[in-house]
């Protein structure tokens, strides 16, 4: 019989982590639209506002709402001659896969908590499989099924061409992706993502990106191709195959594909952070050090966020002045909105600083002995887990930004160039890298 | 004669591609920083709250000029509608009550949706009756009919919106600086 004790509830609670990539989707879309516009010297979306909240625009973040409403309320069209069942099922696949993959990412360090029957070890993954990363590769490779199936079921030549391209590209880059990550597996001696992160430790000089720089670049490139992002967006192509596999899709089915793509970016970024950027480790602060100095670390993190909110408040003031000099008929509304934003961020900064002081001065609980093992009380474990989750999400967002940044910098490749790069360049470099890593690892271990 | 265009030889760093990517990333990051920290330098207007400044000589919506007595200067000679490459000017002439003038327009209609704003009608007019200096460029209406502007709309403009120093056109036939016109209209 299942016992409803604390570790079991925690295990259940861990399933919420599956929604981390889902929460990152609106942030990714915001970053994409705003990043693209600023890189192209324009303002980007900033019109959508919430009238009930004083016309607040939140720098364009509110744009996600009308986009969602639009996608939900548009006509969902099924083209003539489409295979109805597959046409309806296909858009769900990429997003389903993207919601399954976070189960093997370690979001925080393994913890030991006290249950009713003694000490319970709990890892930071939902599914602590030894073959963790293989599960992830397998699932992530499956997402192309959604693309190909949707393309085929649409009964459109352009869509089918796009789907074929996507699958060919996926096959080409899956090989280099696995081989470029293999260097890390050789060094860490494990496929388990928790073990890989533990092996990297908290010292940035021992992270995958330093030990395997070539592997990092190759893996990131393969991830661009895997997610179908420009410069590898062969599955789409305005001048060649119109919108590619998405061509016959409209409304929320189209939206599902897009959500799947952004969730895929989030999960790919989380994987890159886990394999190459020390995962959930804070730089120079191991899990044990974090748990024994939780108050001070939390205070530091809160203070950093307080400073950031203060900076945002200052920036809002600055924008308000710029708007005032430019004039325009909406100046009063903008002034009100900037006032509200400034107030929110100023109050937020104050609250964060107060919380930082409270965290720094709060008493730190001592370790307790359970079954002859020294363990931390639950709240220390949970606090540390929350901080580590935040660190991993921050790293993930940085890599997401790299995805967006590269997209708006590089021109897209021609199809033959993609194949050339995948089979003749990346694959060879990945093989050489793996060979060199294996030789060095063998020599070093003796 | 066939000519060989030499392709620039790529250096090793360019062939390796990665250094070039880093260069490109630096460039786009610079633009991002500009937008984030100096949004006032972006070449962007917050339209429609801030309207662009349209130059006076920009070819915009037409207006019809008036004689000193307030009647349209147009003599219904059909030169503009003949010059019009889009065939968007439709004129109906009638006899003028003024015996100094032979004809005047009974109907003068411009279909702004058909107009290509080339300015040839302005060039063609022998009496400087039609101009395109209203600076109205963002035209909007909710039906096609409303885009057909007639005599009433074309004559509906405020003299205070236009500069009085426009000597060049005032020297045209019918203008206040034209010797013959001054004599004709008794302006001394």
Provide the pLDDT for residue A169: 86
The DSSP output letter for A282 is B
Residues sharing a CB contact under 8 Å with residue B140, sequence separation 6 or more, in sequence order: none
Min Cα separation B29/chain A (Å): 7
Cα nearest neighbour of A325 on chain B = B40
Shortest CA gap A162–chain B (Å):
26
pLDDT, average across residues A321-350: 82
Pairwise CA distance, residues A208 & A55, whole Å: 46
- A217–B35: do the CB atoms touch at under 8 Å? no
Provide CB contacts within 8 A for B73, sequence distance 6+: B64, B65, B66, B67, B127, B128, B129, B174
Report CA Rg, chain B.
26
Closest Cβ–Cβ partner in B25, B35, B46 for A326 = B46
For residue B169, what pLDDT is reported? Answer: 65
Q: How far is B116 from chain A (nearest CA, A)?
A: 29
Q: Which helix (H) or strand (E) holds A111?
A: strand A111-115
Q: Which residue has the higher pLDDT, B113 or A14?
A: B113
DSSP strands (E only) in chain B: 63-64, 89-95, 103-111, 130-131, 148-149
Residue of A264, A277, A207, A237 whose CA lies nearest to A403: A264
pLDDT at A82 (0 to 100) = 85
A329, A338, A347 from A341: Cα distances, Å = 20, 5, 10
Low-confidence stretches of chain B (pLDDT beneath 70):
165-176, 185, 187-188
User: ω before A88 within 30° of 0 (cis)?
Assistant: no
Give the C-alpha separation, A402 to A399, whole Å.
5
CA nearest to B108, candidates B171, B69, B63, B138? B63
Cα separation of B48 and B51, whole Å? Answer: 6
Q: pLDDT confidence of A446, banded at 50, 70, 90?
A: low
Backbone φ and ψ for A23, nearest 5 degrees, come out as -70, -25
State chain A's mean pLDDT as an integer. Answer: 85
Summarize pLDDT for A291-307 with one digit per residue, the tens: 878 888 888 888 889 89
From the number of C-beta atoms within 10 Å of its C-beta (0-12, 13-18, 19+), residue A333 rates as middle
Look at A132 and A68; give whichever has higher pLDDT. A68
| DSSP β-ladder status, B103-111 and B130-131 | unpaired
Q: What CA–CA distances, in Å, run from A282 to A290, A307, A420, A445, B111?
A: 9, 19, 39, 28, 68
Asked if the Cβ–Cβ distance from A409 to B34 is below 8 Å, we say no
Tell me what pLDDT residue A281 has. Answer: 87
In angstroms, the CA A347 to CA A355 distance is: 12
Cα B169-B175-B179 angle, rounded to 5 deg: 110
pLDDT at A2 over 60: no
DSSP B35-66: HHH-GGGSS---TTTS-----TTS--S-EE-B
Find chain A residues with C-beta within 8 A of B29's C-beta.
405
Contact A328 B46 (CB under 8 A): yes
How high is the ipTM of this complex?
0.81
Q: B41 to chain A: nearest residue by CA?
A: A41
Q: Are A50 and A56 in contact (CB under 8 A)?
A: yes
Residue A418: list chain B partners with CB under 8 A.
none
pLDDT higher for B165 or A310? A310
pLDDT the model gives residue B92: 94
Cβ contact, residue pair B50, A326, below 8 Å: yes
pLDDT score, position A100: 86
Q: Which residue of A has its CA nearest to B52?
A: A328
Q: What is the pTM of this model?
A: 0.82
Instruction: Give the tens place of pLDDT for each residue, A55-91.
Output: 778 778 888 888 889 988 988 888 888 888 888 888 8
Confidence class of residue A401 from pLDDT cuts 50, 70 and 90? very high
Give the residue ranges of DSSP H helices in A40-63.
none
Nearest CA in chain B to A407: B25
| C-beta atoms of B36 and A217 within 8 A | no
Q: Which residues, 6+ apart, have CB-to-CB distance to A418 below 8 Å?
A: A169, A172, A225, A232, A234
User: Given an 8 Å threshold on Cβ–Cβ distance, is B21 in contact with A406?
Assistant: yes
Are A35 and B32 inside 8 Å of each other by CB? yes
**Closest CB from A43, A319, A406 relative to B42:** A43
CA–CA separation, B6 vs A433, rounded Å?
37
Q: Indicate if the pLDDT at residue A221 is higher than 80.
A: yes
A28 phi, psi to nearest 5 deg: -60, -45
How many CB atoms within 10 Å of residue B107?
Answer: 12
Nearest to A177 by CA among A235, A149, A147, A138: A138
Q: How many CB pairs under 8 A join A and B?
A: 57
Mean pLDDT of A318-333: 78
């Amino acid at each position: 019989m299942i016992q409803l004790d604390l570790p079991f509830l925690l295990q259940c609670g861990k399933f919420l982590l599956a929604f981390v990539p889902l929460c990152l989707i609106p942030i990714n879309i915001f970053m994409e639209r705003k990043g693209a516009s600023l890189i192209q010297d324009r303002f980007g979306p900033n019109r959508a506002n919430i009238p009930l909240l004083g016309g607040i625009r939140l720098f364009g973040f509110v744009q996600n709402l009308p986009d969602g409403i639009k996608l939900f309320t548009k006509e969902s069209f099924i083209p003539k001659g489409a295979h109805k069942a597959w046409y309806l099922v296909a858009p769900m696949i990429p997003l389903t896969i993207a919601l399954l993959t976070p189960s093997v990412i370690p979001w925080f360090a393994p913890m030991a908590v006290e249950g009713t029957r003694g000490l319970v070890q709990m890892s930071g993954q939902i599914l602590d499989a030894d073959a963790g990363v293989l599960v992830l590769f397998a699932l992530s490779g499956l997402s192309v099924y959604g693309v190909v199936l949707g393309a085929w079921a649409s009964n459109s030549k352009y869509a089918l061409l796009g789907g074929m391209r996507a699958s060919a590209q996926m096959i080409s880059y899956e090989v280099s992706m696995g081989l470029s990550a293999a260097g890390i597996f050789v060094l860490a001696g494990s496929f388990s993502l928790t073990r890989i992160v533990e092996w990297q430790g908290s010292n940035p000089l021992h992270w995958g990106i330093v030990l395997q720089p070539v592997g990092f670049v190759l893996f990131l490139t393969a991830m661009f191709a895997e997610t179908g992002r420009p410069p590898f967006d062969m599955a789409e192509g305005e001048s060649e195959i119109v919108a590619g596999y998405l061509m016959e899709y409209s409304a929320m089915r189209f939206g599902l594909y897009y959500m799947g793509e952004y969730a895929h970016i989030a999960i790919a970024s989380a994987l890159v952070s886990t394999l190459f950027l020390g995962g959930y480790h804070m730089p120079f602060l191991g899990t044990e050090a974090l748990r024994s100095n939780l108050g001070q670390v939390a205070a530091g993190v809160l203070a950093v966020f307080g400073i950031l909110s203060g900076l945002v408040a200052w920036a809002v003031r600055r924008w308000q002045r710029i708007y005032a000099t430019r004039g325009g008929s909406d100046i009063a509304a903008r002034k009100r909105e900037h006032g509200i934003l400034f107030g929110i961020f100023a109050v937020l900064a104050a609250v964060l600083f107060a919380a930082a002081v409270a965290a720094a001065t709060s008493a730190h609980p001592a370790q307790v002995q359970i079954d002859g093992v020294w363990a931390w009380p639950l709240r220390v474990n949970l606090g540390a887990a929350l901080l580590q989750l935040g660190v991993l999400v921050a790293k993930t967002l940085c890599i997401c930004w790299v995805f967006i940044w590269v997209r708006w910098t590089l021109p897209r490749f021609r199809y033959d160039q993609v194949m050339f790069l995948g089979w003749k360049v990346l694959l060879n470099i990945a093989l050489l890298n793996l060979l060199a890593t294996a030789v060095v690892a063998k020599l070093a271990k003796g | 004669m066939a000519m060989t265009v030499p392709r620039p030889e790529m250096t090793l760093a360019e062939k390796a591609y990665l250094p070039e990517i880093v260069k490109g990333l630096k460039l786009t990051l610079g633009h991002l920083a500009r937008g984030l920290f100096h949004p006032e330098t972006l070449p962007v207007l917050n339209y429609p709250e801030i309207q662009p400044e349209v130059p006076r000589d920009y070819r915009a919506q037409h207006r019809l000029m008036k004689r000193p007595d307030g009647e349209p200067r147009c003599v219904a000679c059909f030169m503009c509608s003949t010059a019009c490459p889009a065939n968007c000017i439709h004129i109906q002439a009638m006899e003028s009550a003024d015996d100094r003038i032979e004809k005047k327009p009974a109907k003068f209609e411009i279909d702004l949706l058909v107009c290509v704003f080339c300015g040839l009608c302005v060039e063609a007019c022998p009496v400087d009756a039609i101009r395109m200096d209203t600076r109205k460029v963002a035209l909007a209406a909710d039906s096609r009919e409303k885009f057909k502007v007639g005599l009433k709309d074309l004559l509906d403009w405020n003299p205070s919106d236009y500069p009085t120093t426009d000597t060049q056109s005032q020297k045209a036939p019918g203008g206040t600086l034209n010797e013959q016109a001054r004599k004709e209209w008794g302006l001394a």
